[in-house]
Amino acid sequence: MNPTVEVSAQTICEDIASLMKFYKAHMASFAEAHGLTSIQLYALHALNTSNSTMGKLAQSLHCDASNATGIVDRLVALQLITRQENPADRRVKVLQLTSAGQQILQAVNQELPSRLNCTLLSTDERKMFHKLVQKINLTN
């Protein structure tokens, strides 16, 4: 791309949408390879950073609590997560990845950079990309 050519904010939005589509396609492929749906893989990813509750998981997945319950039920049946009552409040269910769930995420995370072509970027390009994403992602 010619550096003197103006790139509109709309073009950036289209680029982000295209990147999201690319990412989702690869995540769907990873999920399928592990016998999961995309939303189940996203749930494992959401639980990877810390133990969570059903409510927090539903919020992370942007879905209703009843939908999260169905997702969790299937992941528990696959022995990828555990669900336990919180001793302080039995209404609250604490979710935790099992070692099998952690192994799936490790495999995905190991292969993801090459599948998303992140390895094609130079060190400076990766730094710039990260800086730009952080700048527009105000939630971080």
Flag whether 82 is in a domain.
Answer: yes
In tens digits, the chain (140 residues) has pLDDT values of: 566 788 999 999 999 999 999 999 999 999 999 999 999 999 999 999 776 888 899 999 999 988 999 999 999 999 999 999 888 888 888 999 999 999 999 999 999 999 999 999 999 999 999 999 999 987 65
| Rounded Cα gap, residues 60 and 40, in angstroms | 12
pTM: 0.84
Q: Do residues 106 and 123 lie in contact, with contact meaning Cβ atoms separated by under 8 Å?
A: no
Range of the domain at 73: 9-136
Evaluate whether residue 49 is within a structural domain: yes
**What's the structural domain count of the chain?**
1
* 1 part of a folded domain: no
The answer as to whether 54 is a domain residue is yes
In a domain? residue 124 = yes
Q: Which CATH number covers residue 52?
A: 1.10.10.10
DSSP-assigned letters across all residues of the chain: --TTS---HHHHHHHHHHHHHHHHHHHHHHHHHTT--HHHHHHHHHHHSS-EEHHHHHHHHTS-HHHHHHHHHHHHHTTSEEEEEETTEEEEEEEEE-HHHHHHHHHHHHHHHHHTTGGGS-HHHHHHHHHHHHHH-TT-
Q: Is residue 4 part of a domain?
A: no
Residue 137's alpha-carbon distances to 93, 103, 131, 132, in angstroms, are 30, 29, 10, 8
| Residue 120 falls inside a structural domain | yes
